[in-house]
Amino acid sequence: MTSINGENALRVRDTASKAADQLPPLQYFALDPSWRITADWIALDAPKGLTIDTSKSIPTNVEATHKAVFIRDGVTYELLATHGTPEAPQFVIRDQTSRDTTYAACRFVFGEDVTDKTIVLDFNKAINPPCAFTEHAVCPLPPAENVLPIRIEAGEKRLEH
């Protein structure tokens, strides 16, 4: 049982289902060490309340308390952690690969090695959300701050149908 905006939601899983066995193998970009980035981990002056949409058009209220700030090719980017835990903050992202190579809605990246000042973002570990695999899942979409104008050619690619 989970809660969305204070309302109960039941997530049912059929552990005997063979559907996963029928999926094609997952495809990934080649491992690229340059996409394992140590970012600045900055606490926001005050928690930022956000209303984000989901794959089922259910607006969801979240609170961001930190942002990861990193430089790639001389450009500074910021990502808000909107889900996860203090030890493994979750970033819901979309980048330019969503147009042709990765799942169109978003991917998830979990922060690692979190300290008071830094966080590791390993985009090689970017994964597709559950809604990439089934129409029955409800997944968060990225806030506007987490839609990046670059191609992150790292991590999991979209499923081939």
Res 7: pLDDT: 61
List residues bridging with 49 in a β-sheet. Answer: 63
Q: Which DSSP letter does residue 62 get?
A: E
Among 55, 70, 36, residue whose Cα is nearest residue 135: 55
Q: Would you list the DSSP string of 43-64?
A: EEEEEEEEEE-BTTS--EEEEE
pLDDT at 61: 95
19-29 burial: b if 16+ Cβ within 10 Å, else e = eeeeeeeeeeb
Other beta carbons within 10 Å of 110: 20
Give the Å distances, CA to CA, from 85 to 19, 88, 110.
30, 5, 9
Does pLDDT of 157 surpass 90? yes
Does position 154 have pLDDT exceeding 50, yes or no?
Answer: yes
What token pair was written down for 149? 């104008």
**pLDDT of 28-64, one tens digit each?**
999 999 999 999 999 999 999 999 999 999 999 999 9
Per-residue pLDDT band for 20 (boundaries 50, 70, 90) equals confident
Q: What is the mean pLDDT of residues 136-142?
A: 92
- Quote the tokens at residue 28: 């990934």
The C-alpha angle with vertex 20 and arms to 18 and 25, in degrees rounded to 5, equals 135
Question: Higher model confidence: residue 24 or residue 43?
Answer: 43
Q: Note whether 83 and 93 are within 8 A (CB).
A: no
- 75-92 per-position pLDDT tens digit: 999 999 999 999 999 999
Percent with pLDDT over 90 in the chain: 78
pLDDT at 11: 62
Would you state the structure tokens that stand for residue 17, as one six-digit string?
Answer: 């289902």
Q: Where are the domains of the chain?
A: 33-146
| 152-55-134 Cα angle (round to 5) | 90
